[in-house]
Amino acid sequence: MLRQALAITGISIRSVPERWAPSLVIVVGLAGVVAVFTALLAMAAGFESTLKATGRSDAVVILRGGSDAELNSAFDRESTDIIKQEPGIRPDADGKPLASAELMVIAELVRREDVRSGANITLRGVEPAAFVLRPHLTIIKGRNFTPGLRELIVGRGVLAQFQGADIGQTVRMRGSEWHVVGEFDSGDSHNSEMWTDINVARSTFGRSGSSSVLAALDGRDGLARLKSAVAADPRLSLDVLVERDYFSSQTRQFRRTIGVLASVVTVIMGLGAIFAALNSMYAAVAARGKEIATLRALGFGGLPVVVSVMIEALLLALAGAVLGALIAYVLFNNLSVSTLGQNFTQVVFSFKVTPELVVRGLVIAVVIGMVGGFLPALRAARLPVTVSLREQ
């Protein structure tokens, strides 16, 4: 049985070049489905990996209660100082709490390929502790800003996507000029930000306090101690969020939107590809009617015929899927784009064609190939031998 199936499959595969047009329909149809599926989900994967890389599990972001995002949160100077003194925050080498009060405001920059319309960019005013709390952030060009001066360092992602903030250029904000003195790379969502000294940001933007406080936790029970202290303090109404969870939770909306889009598009395109595959395989079976009938007359069974047609459909579908994944990889992998994030500012990220996505694409192709091959395979096996042999 197996040998029969292999023999027939060998014959049919070798005859594919003679029937290249209908075979190509299956390959291209599947390539289309898999390329679109992979590219869309590669976008979601890239966004997710950028935000998930942000934040550590032993630090917390402290926001005003119920504000959801840093943009909506604000503390006055006094609350900022109180927060830093709460228990559960790890002391630094000098015994002071390792915490950075940060002021987030929004500035506008114009996209590289655009002329006028501005996009929202996070400008983060930070204290020196911010760099200790994010050790993976390094200045890759130029130098760090000097506290007290209107100087900016700009994330790699911002420089890739937006104009007017290259090293040596000046950015105008609120009637004053800011010099860009350095470029940094943090490998995460901070790459979409511009950083400066918090006090300079405060005076320029007329704000006295901060938007959030980032603090290192002191030991395993740090979070619990901090949370209970904050809850017991009548002066404060705060949300204390583990930094990593805060950033991960921001991917939910985007993931869902892209997920819905990808499934709707894949299902509809997949149905189209199934119909096309059915068409092609019926044509293939019809073209080989005489040959199949001859084999049957020689004593080959019906099942090997079914198997051979299915295998042909599967192989063509898989070839299409590989082609599709390759197209998605070549065109989109590491392509840098940006969209509005939770803070109403641009998050720069790159498409990521992951092995997992490619495997999922192959699975889709196998399913479509199976469905598209099955009915034609049945027809091939059921063709009455005498009728087929007589056909012109």
Partner 1 sequence: MTRTGFVIANLFRRRTRTILTLLSVIMAFLLFGLLQSVNSIFSSGADFVGATRLFVQARVSFTTSLPVSMVPKLEAIPGVARVAYQQWFGGVWQTNTPLIMFTLDPQRYHDVYPEWVMPDAQWQAFAHTRTGLIVGRQLAKQYGWKIGQKIPISSNIWPQKNGSKAWQFDLVGIFDGKDEDWQKRTNLAFIQSDYFDEANQFGIKGRTNFFILKLAPGANAEAISKTVDAMFENSPDETKTQTEKEFNMSFVKQIGDIGLIVRWILFAVFFTLLLVVGNTMAQSVRERIPELAVLKTLGFSDGSVLGFVLAEAFALVLCGGLVGMVLASLAGAMVEKGTGGQFLLSLTGWVWSLGIVAIVLMSLAVGLLPALRARRLKIVDALAGR
Residue 22, interface with partner 1 (CB under 8 A)?
A: yes
Smallest gap from residue 325 Cβ to partner 1 (A): 13
Residue 163 CA to residue 222 CA, distance in Å, equals 42
Q: What x/- string results for residues 162 through 191 when contact with partner 1 is judged by CB under 8 A?
A: ----------xxxx----------------
Residue 118, interface with partner 1 (CB under 8 A)?
A: yes
Q: 66, 239 in Cβ contact below 8 A? A: yes
Name which of 3, 23, 34 is nearest 312 in CA terms: 23
Q: Which stretch binds partner 1 (CB under 8 A): 147-155, 184-192, 204-212, 350-358?
A: 204-212
Residue 299 CA to residue 178 CA, distance in Å, equals 86
Smallest gap from residue 386 Cβ to partner 1 (A): 22
**Triad 207, 210, 215: Cα angle to 5°:** 165
Helix runs in 250-288, H state only: 252-287
Residue 367, interface with partner 1 (CB under 8 A)?
A: no
Query: How many Å separate Cα 299 from the centre of its chain?
Result: 54
Q: 57, 231 in Cβ contact below 8 A? A: no
């619990």: which residue's tokens?
224
Binds partner 1 (CB under 8 A): choice among 77, 275, 359, 385: 275
Residue 230, interface with partner 1 (CB under 8 A)?
A: no
Binds partner 1 (CB under 8 A): choice among 28, 160, 326, 370: 28
Give me the residues paired with residue 35 across strands.
none
User: Of 230 and 276, which CB lies nearer to partner 1 in the complex structure?
Assistant: 276
Residues 6+ apart with CB under 8 A from 244: 52, 54, 55, 56, 57
Residue 325, interface with partner 1 (CB under 8 A)?
A: no
Q: Which stretch binds partner 1 (CB under 8 A): 29-37, 90-98, 304-312, 358-366?
A: 29-37
Q: 36, 265 in Cβ contact below 8 A? A: yes
Q: 137, 126 in Cβ contact below 8 A? A: no
Residue 264, interface with partner 1 (CB under 8 A)?
A: yes
Amino acid in position 296: R
Binds partner 1 (CB under 8 A): choice among 237, 249, 334, 336: 237
User: Of 131 and 205, which CB lies nearer to partner 1 in the complex structure?
Assistant: 205
Q: Which stretch binds partner 1 (CB under 8 A): 2-10, 280-288, 291-299, 305-313?
A: 280-288
Binds partner 1 (CB under 8 A): choice among 5, 25, 307, 358: 25
Binds partner 1 (CB under 8 A): choice among 165, 278, 306, 358: 278
Binds partner 1 (CB under 8 A): choice among 114, 221, 356, 391: 114
Residue 35, interface with partner 1 (CB under 8 A)?
A: yes
Residue 289 CA to residue 258 CA, distance in Å, equals 45
Residue 39, interface with partner 1 (CB under 8 A)?
A: yes
Total interface residues for partner 1 by CB under 8 A: 58
Name which of 200, 196, 193, 213 is nearest 345 in CA terms: 193
Strands 176-185, 151-155: pairing is parallel
Binds partner 1 (CB under 8 A): choice among 1, 140, 224, 268: 268
Q: What x/- string results for residues 284 through 303 when contact with partner 1 is judged by CB under 8 A?
A: --------------------
Smallest gap from residue 344 Cβ to partner 1 (A): 7
Residues 6+ apart with CB under 8 A from 176: 150, 204
Residue 340, interface with partner 1 (CB under 8 A)?
A: yes
Q: 276, 23 in Cβ contact below 8 A? A: no
Smallest gap from residue 116 Cβ to partner 1 (A): 7
């470029």: which residue's tokens?
183
Burial class (CB in 10 A: 0-12, 13-18, 19+), 120: middle
User: Which residues in this chain contact partner 1 in the complex, by CB under 8 A?
Assistant: 21-22, 24-25, 28-29, 32, 35-36, 39-40, 65-69, 71-72, 74, 105-108, 111, 114, 116-120, 172-175, 204-206, 237, 264-265, 268-269, 271-273, 275-276, 278-280, 282-283, 337-340, 344, 346
